[in-house]
């Protein structure tokens, strides 16, 4: 009995020593958490009176500011970017705007689709993630026929929005869908003509292509506003419900940190830089004066904000985030 007790104590001591050694040993390190490097799904919702607005992100791409900005000095560009902690090239968002008026579902712009490579073409996935189907879209309005606005309209040679009517400014349609205009356009725009023609072809074939004129009410609550310069028929859209207004302005601004400081700064893609400058200034002043919410194709996703006018410059004030808008 005595021997047994002694032996039991020995075992207990051994266990205690073992536990002590375990406790003193360094814990095995957790495996390093791999960085994820993706974003959430690219849609953002807000309400505008009776309308529901959903921004859809098509993707972001490195915008080669050094190469494409004109009418602004390299020093000014460097100063503007450094003020905002940016360096060239700056990632540019490609945003489109889905408007549910109640009776109608309207999409303004469609992203680049397959025309810009892997960066982009996420609009359809984001539309589905936002709770809609491409078949539900009644009408698609384009601000202009550049690749990053028209490219998402087709998929594998077919209509990406099979029940939609496609509406484009008559002036832009005349310009981009006439191959002869390639001859007078800069060389780097040559593929833009081809892309526009290929993109809209399925809608023309199906009898679902319809032009609009300047300043036309397209449906109750959405009016076209001719803002030419970036392209001959560049169009902005004023979306109004109750006493609320959203100005979907297309490519009025490409790089906010530069062009809000100096609206003369243009891009080499501008078909008529003087007219582009004029309408940039006019729309900035209009948005500031009327306190419109602006829907911007290329300002950082979701591209929704207001414009504040200073003496000679403008500020972009992003909309305030709402977790469950209108609920
Ligand atoms: Zn453009
Ligand atoms: Zn664009």
- What protein residues have CB closer than 5 angstroms to ion ligand 1? 146, 251
| Percentage with pLDDT > 90 across the chain | 87
- What protein residues have CB closer than 5 angstroms to ion ligand 2? 148, 251
Ligand 1 centroid–CA 218 distance in Å is 22
Q: Where are the domains of the chain?
A: 40-318
Name the CATH topology of 40-318.
Metallo-beta-lactamase; Chain A (3.60.15)
Ligand 1 centroid–CA 150 distance in Å is 10
User: Average pLDDT of 221-235?
Assistant: 98
What pTM does this model have?
0.90
Ligand 1 centroid–CA 156 distance in Å is 23
pLDDT in tens, 54-88: 999 999 999 999 889 999 999 999 999 999 999 99
CA–CA dist 71, 61 (Å, integer): 23
- 295 vs 322, which has greater pLDDT? 295
Lowest mean pLDDT segment, chosen from 27-31, 47-51, 64-68, 76-80: 27-31
pLDDT in tens, 192-227: 999 999 999 999 999 999 999 999 999 999 999 999
First to last CA, the chain: 77
- Does residue 3 carry a pLDDT above 70? no
Ligand 1 centroid–CA 60 distance in Å is 15
Ligand 1 centroid–CA 298 distance in Å is 9
- Does residue 118 carry a pLDDT above 60? yes
| Percentage with pLDDT > 70 across the chain | 91
User: Average pLDDT of 301-306?
Assistant: 98
Ligand 1 centroid–CA 231 distance in Å is 7
CA–CA dist 267, 68 (Å, integer): 5
Q: What is residue 284's predicted lDDT score, i.e. its pLDDT?
A: 98
CA–CA dist 143, 141 (Å, integer): 7
Q: What is residue 66's predicted lDDT score, i.e. its pLDDT?
A: 83
List of residues 6+ apart from 128 with CB closer than 8 A: 134
Ligand 2 centroid–CA 189 distance in Å is 13
């Amino acid at each position: 009995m005595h021997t047994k007790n002694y032996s039991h104590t020995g075992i207990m001591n051994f266990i205690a020593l073992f536990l002590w050694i375990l406790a003193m040993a360094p814990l095995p390190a957790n495996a390093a958490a791999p960085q994820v490097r993706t974003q959430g799904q690219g849609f953002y919702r807000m309400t505008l009176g009776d309308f529901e607005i959903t921004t859809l992100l098509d993707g972001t791409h490195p915008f080669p500011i050094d190469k494409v900005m004109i009418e602004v000095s390299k020093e000014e560009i460097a100063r503007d970017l450094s003020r905002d902690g940016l360096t060239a090239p700056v990632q540019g968002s490609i945003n489109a705007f889905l408007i549910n008026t109640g009776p109608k579902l309207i999409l303004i712009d469609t992203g680049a689709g397959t025309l810009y490579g892997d960066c982009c073409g996420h609009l359809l996935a984001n539309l589905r993630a936002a709770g809609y189907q491409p078949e539900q879209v009644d009408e698609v309005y384009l601000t202009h026929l550049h690749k990053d606005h028209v490219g998402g309209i087709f998929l594998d040679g077919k209509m990406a929005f099979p029940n939609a009517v496609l509406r484009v400014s008559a002036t832009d349609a005349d310009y981009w869908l006439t191959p002869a205009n390639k001859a007078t356009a800069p060389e780097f725009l040559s593929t833009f003509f081809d892309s526009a023609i290929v993109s809209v072809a399925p809608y023309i074939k199906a009898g679902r292509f319809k032009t609009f004129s300047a300043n036309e009410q397209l449906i109750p609550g959405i009016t076209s506003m001719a803002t030419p310069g970036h392209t001959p028929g560049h169009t902005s859209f004023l979306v109004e419900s109750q006493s609320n207004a959203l100005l979907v302005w297309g490519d009025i601004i490409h790089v906010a940190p530069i062009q809000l400081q100096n609206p003369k700064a243009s891009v080499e893609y501008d078909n008529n830089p003087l007219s582009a400058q004029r309408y940039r200034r006019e729309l900035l002043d209009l948005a500031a004066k009327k306190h419109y919410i602006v829907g911007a194709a290329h300002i950082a996703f979701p591209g929704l904000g207001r414009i504040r006018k200073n003496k000679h410059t403008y500020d972009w004030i992003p909309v305030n985030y709402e977790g469950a808008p209108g609920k």
